[in-house]
A = this chain, B = another copy of it.
Amino acid sequence: MPAPTREQLAPAPPATGDLNLMDALAQLTFAIQGSLAKRAAHHDLSLIQTRLLGVLRDRQPTMQELARLLDLDKSSVTGLIDRAELRRLVRRVPSSDDRRSVRVKLTSRGRRVIRQVVTAFRLDIDVATASLTSSDKDNLRSLTTRVITAHTAHRQD
């Protein structure tokens, strides 16, 4: 008879035994996002605010572009940026060419905060992968990248 299905989509705690690929990936995402959320919470940041700051590190997108990048409605982005701007993490600057649009920029404070969150998060990842050999790690990095690439290509919006 088939082995009973266990722990599918479930969070980490019991996390025992043999997982199929889907369950392993699902559990991994909950575990990693949980780590990131905790690190962000130390700076009073939600996951979405953290993601916002992360995205802004190498971009100055318009509100519309931000909506697409974060997969949110533009009205949701308005509120997100309102709250981030109140905390001096980001700034709205008028767009030079189109007077309807604004660009969103990280402030130096925002950049400092996201750096701290990323640094702490990197430590969590280091700990969680500490038992892997260098070639295991590179293998995981490579496989993960391939999955991301395929996922992006098949993205149905």
By a beta-carbon cutoff of 8 Å, the part of chain A in contact with chain B is: 4-13, 15, 19-22, 24-36, 50-51, 54-55, 57-58, 68-71, 114, 118, 121-122, 124-125, 127-132, 136-137, 139-141, 143-152, 154-155
Contacts and interface: CB of A to CB of B under 8 A. Distances in A.
Chain A contact residues, majority secondary structure:
helix
Contacts of A21: 125, 129, 137, 140-141, 144
A152 B9 contact: no
Given A28-B29, A128-B150, A54 B8 contact: yes
A68 to B, nearest CB: 7
How many copies make up the complex? 2
A58 B6 contact: yes
Contact of A25 (B4, B5, B125): B125
A17 B36 CA distance: 23
